Amino acid sequence: MDTITHGIAGALIGKAVFRGEDLFASHPMNRGRILTWSLMLGAIFPDSDVFRDIFSSDRLLIITWHRSITHSLLMLPLWALLLAAITRAFANSRRWQAPSFAALTAIYAVGILSHILLDLVTSFGTMIWSPLEWSRPAWDLVFIVDFTLTAIFLVPQLLAWVYSHPEKAKSRAIGMCLVFLPTPWLIAKIGEIAGAPISGRVVLSAMIVFAALFLLPALQGWGLKIRHDTWNRAGFAAALFYVACTIYAHQVAYARIQKFASSGIGTAWFERSAACTSCVWISARGRRATWNC
Ligand SMILES: [Zn+2]
């Protein structure tokens, strides 16, 4: 999963599960805000391993190093303790009322764990048992960038902010609508450049969903009756439901492949693919120049 989505997910977990406060509240830093900041930073931390790429010319680091010890379940307690100690020291120097060291350690542990689980659901592979073992488990449920999941983590937090002030709700809702309406179109353009086109129907549907999400709660002010916590909990529940749907979709797709593989056409296709793979492998090793398979 991309680092921005990890951070957004961490902030949502902080607010939905631990009653953390918004990151950018108008009041001074307090326990609730430090909780959300810590969970978000914990959720981002594992991807700090990419900084090693900057100081290395090894192009294979993205495979051999990324998603290793900072993404390890075995190393997780050490990272959580370290980050909690840094946060306590920083909060003390600024005279902020921070959660206890034990609470901060638990918060960072949850943040790092959320990162590991969200990386595990992708197809890239995550070395969760490093440095003892360097295997790369992958649940292969979603691609490493999933804009739908990002939106599910982000939009409820924005809705909680939009409808937290009666006098500002309408202007905030319209502002968010103006920001989000062109987003699906922009993503589709990027997808086109990257060779992964998105259909116009999907773009239009996403625009309608964003408009409905931000503007409908303003009708007769019912959005103002929903509590800050409730928006965020709904977002957390929606994210869990989305992941459950990907598990179901994965099972259905796997069953279809199994059915195809056991059919006569499937067996012939797999035999041909296996022959082709060995042919390409031999060619790649420079032992045979034929690609006619
Ligand atoms: Zn990661």
- Tell me the sheet residues that pair with 146: none
Q: Name the pLDDT band for 6 (thresholds 50, 70, 90).
A: very high
Q: Say whether both 179 and 237 belong to one domain.
A: yes
CA 81, CA 1: separation in Å to the nearest integer?
A: 24
Q: Say whether both 25 and 75 belong to one domain.
A: yes
Q: How far is the CA of 165 from the centre of ligand 1 (A)?
A: 35
Count of structural domains, the chain? 2
> What residue type is assigned to position 267 of the chain?
T
Q: How far is the CA of 109 from the centre of ligand 1 (A)?
A: 15
CA 257, CA 263: separation in Å to the nearest integer?
A: 10
Which pLDDT does position 274 carry in this prediction? Answer: 65
- Residue 100 forms part of a structural domain: yes
Contact (Cβ atoms closer than 8 angstroms) between residue 120 and residue 128: yes
CA 104, CA 98: separation in Å to the nearest integer?
A: 8
- Residue 277 forms part of a structural domain: no
CA 41, CA 33: separation in Å to the nearest integer?
A: 12
Q: How far is the CA of 46 from the centre of ligand 1 (A)?
A: 6
Q: How far is the CA of 6 from the centre of ligand 1 (A)?
A: 8
Q: How far is the CA of 2 from the centre of ligand 1 (A)?
A: 7
Provide mean pLDDT across the span 230-243. 96
- What letters, b where the CB count within 10 A reaches 16 and e where it falls short, cover 219-245? eeeebeeeebeebbbbbbebbeebbee
Q: How far is the CA of 215 from the centre of ligand 1 (A)?
A: 34
Contact (Cβ atoms closer than 8 angstroms) between residue 104 and residue 84: yes
Residues recorded for the chain: 293
Which pLDDT does position 58 carry in this prediction? Answer: 79
Q: How far is the CA of 5 from the centre of ligand 1 (A)?
A: 10
* Helix, strand or coil, per DSSP, at residue 109: helix
Provide mean pLDDT across the span 157-164. 94
Q: Is the pLDDT of residue 281 over 50?
A: no
Q: Name the pLDDT band for 5 (thresholds 50, 70, 90).
A: very high
Q: Work out the burial of residue 43: count CB atoms within 10 Å of its CB; fewer than 13 is exposed, 13-18 middle, 19 or more buried.
A: buried
Supply 202's token pair: 């999907």
Which pLDDT does position 293 carry in this prediction? Answer: 39
Q: Please report the DSSP string for 140-185 in residue order.
A: --B-S--HHHHHHHHHHHHHHHHTT-TTTHHHHHHHHHHHHTTHHH
Backbone angles phi, psi at 146, to 5 degrees: -135, 100
pLDDT one-digit tens code per residue, 168-211: 999 999 999 999 999 999 999 998 998 888 899 999 999 999 99
Q: How far is the CA of 115 from the centre of ligand 1 (A)?
A: 6
Q: Say whether both 104 and 192 belong to one domain.
A: no
Q: Is the pLDDT of residue 292 over 50?
A: no
Which pLDDT does position 286 carry in this prediction? Answer: 41
Q: 166 preceded by cis ω (within 30°)?
A: no
- Residue 275 forms part of a structural domain: no
- Residue 33 forms part of a structural domain: yes
Q: How far is the CA of 282 from the centre of ligand 1 (A)?
A: 34
Residue 42 domain boundaries = 3-120
- Residue 131 forms part of a structural domain: no
Contact (Cβ atoms closer than 8 angstroms) between residue 293 and residue 279: yes
89 or 276, which is more confident? 89
Q: How far is the CA of 281 from the centre of ligand 1 (A)?
A: 31
Question: CA-CA distances (angstroms) from residue 4 to 9, 99, 120, 122?
Answer: 9, 25, 16, 15
- What letters, b where the CB count within 10 A reaches 16 and e where it falls short, cover 14-42? bbbebebbbeeeeeebeebbbbbbbbbbb
Q: Say whether both 108 and 196 belong to one domain.
A: no
Which pLDDT does position 277 carry in this prediction? Answer: 52
Q: How far is the CA of 47 from the centre of ligand 1 (A)?
A: 5
Q: Say whether both 114 and 163 belong to one domain.
A: no
Q: How far is the CA of 67 from the centre of ligand 1 (A)?
A: 6
> What residue type is assigned to position 226 of the chain?
I
Q: Is the pLDDT of residue 131 over 70?
A: yes
Distance of CA 237 to the CA centre of its chain: 15
Which pLDDT does position 146 carry in this prediction? Answer: 92
Q: Say whether both 169 and 100 belong to one domain.
A: no
Q: Is the pLDDT of residue 44 over 50?
A: yes
Q: How far is the CA of 98 from the centre of ligand 1 (A)?
A: 27
Q: Say whether both 162 and 56 belong to one domain.
A: no
Q: Is the pLDDT of residue 16 over 80?
A: yes
Q: Name the pLDDT band for 290 (thresholds 50, 70, 90).
A: very low
- Residue 288 forms part of a structural domain: no
pLDDT one-digit tens code per residue, 100-116: 999 999 999 999 999 99
- Own/partner pairs for 189-197, CB < 8 Å, 24+ apart? none
Q: Is the pLDDT of residue 234 over 60?
A: yes
